[in-house]
Chains A and B, each alone.
Chain A
C-alpha cells in the first residue's frame, strides 16, 4: 500500500514538475503545480501527517494557487519568449541543477541504512491523533512563534494592499 502510493504519486509529482518546466504558458505551469501539490498532500497523508495533508490542499492548492491563477488572468500573461539570458541558463543552469540532485541523492542513498523505512500512518495509534499531538506542541511549547506568525500575516496583508493599490 505504502509502496503503491509512493510510486503512483511520486511519479505524478515528478511529471507535474517536469510539465511546469516545459510549458511556455504560465497558466499551464500553474495547473501542473497544482498537480504536484495534490500529489505531495497524498504523500504527507501516507507518512502520517494528516493535518499537513489537509493544510496542503487548503492553503497551497486552494489559496495560493488560486491567487496565482487570478494574477495570471488579471495581467493577461501570454506565452513567454526565450531570449539570450535563458540560453546562458540552459548551459549553466541544467548541469548545476543536475549536480545538486546528484549530490543530494548520493548523500541520501549512502545513508539509506541509517534512515530506516516508512510505515503507513506513522507511529500513531487510535488513541492519539496527529492533530491533537500537533496542537499540544504548537499551543504549549511553540505558542510565541505561533502568535508572532499572526503579526507576519497582518504585515503581509497590509503590504499586499499598499503595493497593489493604484497610485493616485
Chain B
C-alpha cells in the first residue's frame, strides 16, 4: 500500500514557495526579477486554492485560480509596459536608482 499524500503536504509546499518568493522580492535589485518573484508568490497561492478545491470536492476554488491567472496576465502586461517606460526615462533597472517619481 503506497501511503497517500496529505493535503497538508501541498499546503506546506505552497508556503515554502511563497516564502522563497518573499525572500526573492526583498533581496533582488533588478525590477524585472522583483516582478518575477511576485509571479512566484501568485503561483504559490494558486497551489493552495487548488489543494483546498481538491479537499472540498468543489470547482469554485479552481475558478478562483482561473481569475487569478487572468488578473496576473493583465498585471504582467501593464507592469512590463511600465518597466519599459521607466527604462526609457532612467536608462537603468536597478530599484535603488529608481526612487523618485519625478525625473
- Residues of A that sit less than 8 Å from B by CB: 1-3, 6, 10, 13-14, 17-18, 20-21, 26, 29-30, 33, 36-37, 40, 43-44, 47-49, 51-52, 55-56, 59-60, 63-64, 67-68, 71-72, 74-75, 77, 80-83, 85-86, 89-90, 92-94, 96-98, 100-101, 104-105, 108-109, 111-112, 115-119, 122-123, 130, 133-134, 137-138, 142, 145, 149, 152-153, 155-157, 159-164, 166
Contacts and interface: CB of A to CB of B under 8 A. Distances in A.
B30 A14 contact: no
5 tightest A-B contacts by CB?
A: A93-B26, A156-B74, A104-B15, A101-B19, A163-B81
Contact of B78 (A3, A10, A56, A156): A156
Interface string B79-92: 01111110110000
Interface in B53-103: 53-55, 57, 59-60, 62-63, 65-67, 69-78, 80-85, 87-88, 93-96
Nearest to B30: A80
The dominant DSSP class at the A interface is helix
Interface of B: 2-13, 15-24, 26-30, 32-33, 35-37, 39-40, 43, 46-47, 50-51, 53-55, 57, 59-60, 62-63, 65-67, 69-78, 80-85, 87-88, 93-96
A93 B17 contact: no
